Structure 1
């Protein structure tokens, strides 16, 4: 039954991919039609009437009449929506409110309708079609997916609209067929406790030696899943043998009872896993499931830093990005394995690009997708069925090529996510590249890192805060921080120029073990959902790492 279901879903996905490829040959007409259809659909909404969008007949009129505005403009309208008022930003009823993570800015609520959900699902299907093609070329067969994302809502508005992380909404709003692709029961995602949810999902997945896909919202969460498997291997194998769930696990009683009914003792599979554990000394995902076809997780931006740790847990399993999206919009679709590039999702939104020379303008001049140039960075704007018009999410993308007529883009960093001792504007992308190279040069894996600024000096020093992986030691920290300085100069021209006489030398701070676990817990305590938690690798907040134990500090 499961193979028939997977075959059906793959057939649908491949068809959607072919339809999308056909659209990429006609970029301008597809984008124009998308915009004009959206404006007609939303012309009688409160915001549509305010801007008289029903009178707009061309793309040029749209760009002339509609201003580029931040989320703060939309906030009062979101308040009306949360109170239950209809037809505010969307003519369709709001069925869910995406809650942004708030890791790098204040939390936001984003309206989701059946229509906007359908557009996002369409891009997901296109991505699945590309994945099926890429996997087939490698001679890999895909089976069911292991995914440990929570489906717990954050709550309901006073008018009864459910809200929570976008991943929760995606899972809860998925149709019945897609909920069957998991190697574990959909119920296993309902536990509010992170350990319990991961443990139970792993337990069900370990029943099957031929797992197809491992999914995680971000690479760091895939590594956490591997850590859970390796830390609780003995307990998982024992539970697999007996067909029970460990009594010490903090699992809600009704949920425990329901899940245990679906478990069966697997003594032979448990014995095989115990042999692997004894022979290897640990149980990694690669050892537990040698058949994993791919890992689906976010690519681009800072992901490469975490991918350096993947081989130890996943071997050479390829990584697929799925879709490039946020709570507010969908931007791109990945088309191949181990590739950071995405094809602009021209069937999901109307897009504009702000060239770098216009970034400081209050109302910048924009380029259309057919006007962008390869090798250039742009801030990307979107107009979509979530109710946004010319919305600047703050993502900086680089155009790296074209798929027929359609731009191929790569996410680089968040525009306002900058670090400056003076005016050099160092990005998270810059420092992640540097730290990735230093891990290899010094053969020392990092648990995590974050570059901040010193508090007392003017101008401040860069503080390169690192935590080493357990069991590792940095033998020459003085040379490490010198190489950080050298490499940042090589890839960041503004830093190199201002380091000559304006920016003081950086300092290395080696943090005590467990430091970034403390930072992570602080963010969780602030209400950031675990499945969307991203530890920033640069921060202008001088108190971001306050209270952590610094074992050693060295100046370049």
Structure 2
């Protein structure tokens, strides 16, 4: 079984991928086919009857009959589903409820059925086909995977439907498959406490010197895993040498016994890792697993900021984005290493796009995939088998090209993820571009950053909050701040106009104490956000985000006034 699963999976992936590529040549035809099939299947649901889905004959009629909708339009229906009422949004029984992370807003519950799960599995298989092709082109073997995502369920609804994060649902529903793919036992994902889970996953994965793949939902989690490996290197090596799992780990007694039975001494591997740690003074994933082929983690959005630090831990191995998806929907499939563009997932949903001039209109006119233009930004709408229609998740994407007739898109930022002292609308994408350039120019990798607005001035100053990595310093912080201002003007023309005309005051730099962003993350986890789903907003008008955080130094540009009190 162990030797057959991976070849079988890659073979299926190649077939699925070839079929998907053929459909990308007729995007209009297959998008219409998807929509009509869904409307026919879902016409008898409570929502389907409300909108008369069975009477809709064309796309224009679909647009006219159903408004653009957000989660608040579905809350009443979701409450009924949670109570166990059938045939509300989906004709099929709801087997699971995806719980959104809540890191960018209120947590939501999204219905999952066997049918919607099959659609996701199909998309994942297409992704495997693309990653297999990419690895083959680069002569990179595909092998065992290290993943630290939790499989913990959050709970069950009043109607007995389990709910939790999408990654947990996927891992649980496909347990038999993942058991064959992991470089560690499936049970290592059971610990609730994140540091314990990281530790046992690393401990078992270190036994396999030929592990090929590291997976992380987001790049920051990949960096955290690398830091955890290095900071616990001596104890991990000691455990490998003795064959005893560390006693301080927060493991339930039965789970500890089960894991210990699968763990035995590996003195030669421990000796090799000990030699590496002694000679290099550190233990990074690249050093621990010199045969790593690639990393799978989210691309686009804020990812590039964290990718600047990847070479220090992972070397120059390629990065594959996997699937661009959320708890609500699957939007795209990555097709190449080190490429932020995803092919629109035309088998996973019916997609519409709102151009910027329509964003503030109650009933916006939408475009179809074949009508998009390269270089333009759009809000993306999806209709899918979760029972969501013309659903606006709030993602802003950029069209970066076409794959045959199907758009290649890249996530840029969330609607509302904008910063305005007046009306300049600085996005997270602008900020990431600027901070990437500054890190390179000043040779200064940052732990993290957060841009918000000052509280007491009108118009407000931009506050650039940064945390330096231990042992580093900014030799000329005033020049760093001036370059931030200049580069942000280049990235955002509206900001440039308002700065030159003194409408927006000069920005300020604040250097926060080491460990500040780790504290912010812990606050979020205490509010119930999963560690594997946590997404940090780098741009926000939430001035309270850094409350209680120590500001070690504040820097202002010449001519900047003092804070108003």
User: Could you tell me how far apart the structure 2 residues matched to 1:194 and 1:398 are?
Assistant: 34
Q: Is 1:133 equivalent to 2:133 in the alignment?
A: yes
User: Could you tell me how far apart the structure 2 residues matched to 1:323 and 1:176 are?
Assistant: 21
1:484-541 CA distance string (max 9 Å, x none): 0000000101111111221100000010111111111111111111101112101111
Aligned to 1:92: 92
1:190-216 CA distance string (max 9 Å, x none): 011111111111111111110011000
Aligned to 1:454: 454
Report the Cα offset of residue 401 of structure 1.
1.1
Instruction: Find the residue that maps to 1:249 and give its secondary structure.
Output: coil
Q: Is 1:483 equivalent to 2:518 in the alignment?
A: no
Aligned to 1:26: 26
Aligned to 2:205: 205
User: Could you tell me how far apart the structure 1 residues matched to 2:368 and 2:217 are?
Assistant: 30
Q: Is 1:501 equivalent to 2:513 in the alignment?
A: no
Alignment of 1:54-133 (within 5 A): 54-133=54-133
Aligned to 2:178: 178
Report the Cα offset of residue 175 of structure 1.
5.1
Alignment of 1:354-503 (within 5 A): 354-499=354-499, 500-503=501-504
User: Could you tell me how far apart the structure 2 residues matched to 1:348 and 1:240 are?
Assistant: 44
1:217-258 CA distance string (max 9 Å, x none): 000000111011101111111111122201111111110100
Instruction: Find the residue that maps to 1:394 and give its secondary structure.
Output: strand
Q: Is 1:330 equivalent to 2:330 in the alignment?
A: yes
1:321-366 CA distance string (max 9 Å, x none): 0000001000000000011000000000000011111111111000
Aligned to 1:290: 290
User: Could you tell me how far apart the structure 2 residues matched to 1:551 and 1:197 are?
Assistant: 33
Report the Cα offset of residue 3 of structure 1.
3.3
Alignment of 1:9-48 (within 5 A): 9-48=9-48
Instruction: Find the residue that maps to 2:459 and give its secondary structure.
Output: coil
1:463-501 CA distance string (max 9 Å, x none): 000010001011111111110000000010111111122
User: Could you tell me how far apart the structure 1 residues matched to 2:142 and 2:483 are?
Assistant: 43
User: Could you tell me how far apart the structure 1 residues matched to 2:427 and 2:389 are?
Assistant: 27
Aligned to 1:523: 524
User: Could you tell me how far apart the structure 1 residues matched to 2:546 and 2:130 are?
Assistant: 41
Report the Cα offset of residue 169 of structure 1.
0.9
Contiguous gaps of at least 5 residues in structure 1: none
Aligned to 1:147: 147
User: Could you tell me how far apart the structure 1 residues matched to 2:354 and 2:366 are?
Assistant: 5
Instruction: Find the residue that maps to 2:238 and give its secondary structure.
Output: helix
Aligned to 1:53: 53
User: Could you tell me how far apart the structure 2 residues matched to 1:173 and 1:423 are?
Assistant: 46
Aligned to 2:548: 547
Q: Is 1:267 equivalent to 2:267 in the alignment?
A: yes
Contiguous gaps of at least 5 residues in structure 2: 558-565
CA contact (8 A) 2:215 2:296 kept: yes
Aligned to 1:249: 249
CA contact (8 A) 2:178 2:186 kept: no
Q: Is 1:163 equivalent to 2:141 in the alignment?
A: no
User: Could you tell me how far apart the structure 2 residues matched to 1:87 and 1:132 are?
Assistant: 39
Q: Normalising by structure 1, what TM-score?
A: 0.99
User: Could you tell me how far apart the structure 2 residues matched to 1:551 and 1:3 are?
Assistant: 55
Q: Normalising by structure 2, what TM-score?
A: 0.97
User: Could you tell me how far apart the structure 1 residues matched to 2:540 and 2:33 are?
Assistant: 41
User: Could you tell me how far apart the structure 2 residues matched to 1:113 and 1:426 are?
Assistant: 39
User: Could you tell me how far apart the structure 2 residues matched to 1:190 and 1:356 are?
Assistant: 44
Report the Cα offset of residue 398 of structure 1.
0.7
User: Could you tell me how far apart the structure 2 residues matched to 1:418 and 1:2 are?
Assistant: 48
User: Could you tell me how far apart the structure 2 residues matched to 1:474 and 1:191 are?
Assistant: 40
Q: Is 1:345 equivalent to 2:331 in the alignment?
A: no
Report the Cα offset of residue 179 of structure 1.
3.0
Instruction: Find the residue that maps to 1:95 and give its secondary structure.
Output: strand
User: Could you tell me how far apart the structure 2 residues matched to 1:25 and 1:461 are?
Assistant: 49
Instruction: Find the residue that maps to 2:447 and give its secondary structure.
Output: strand
Instruction: Find the residue that maps to 2:94 and give its secondary structure.
Output: coil
User: Could you tell me how far apart the structure 2 residues matched to 1:518 and 1:145 are?
Assistant: 30
Instruction: Find the residue that maps to 1:532 and give its secondary structure.
Output: coil
Instruction: Find the residue that maps to 2:176 and give its secondary structure.
Output: coil
User: Could you tell me how far apart the structure 2 residues matched to 1:219 and 1:24 are?
Assistant: 29
Report the Cα offset of residue 177 of structure 1.
2.4
Report the Cα offset of residue 158 of structure 1.
1.1
Instruction: Find the residue that maps to 1:531 and give its secondary structure.
Output: coil
Bigger drift between 209-218 and 56-65 goes to: 56-65
User: Could you tell me how far apart the structure 1 residues matched to 2:209 and 2:3 are?
Assistant: 15
CA contact (8 A) 2:340 2:410 kept: yes
Q: For the aligned residues, what is the CA RMSD?
A: 0.9
Aligned residues: 556
User: Could you tell me how far apart the structure 2 residues matched to 1:178 and 1:544 are?
Assistant: 37
Aligned to 1:236: 236
Aligned to 2:512: 511
1:282-310 CA distance string (max 9 Å, x none): 11000000111110000000100000000
User: Could you tell me how far apart the structure 1 residues matched to 2:467 and 2:398 are?
Assistant: 30
User: Could you tell me how far apart the structure 2 residues matched to 1:3 and 1:304 are?
Assistant: 36
Report the Cα offset of residue 4 of structure 1.
2.1
1:379-426 CA distance string (max 9 Å, x none): 000000011000011111111111111111111111111110001111
User: Could you tell me how far apart the structure 1 residues matched to 2:485 and 2:362 are?
Assistant: 34
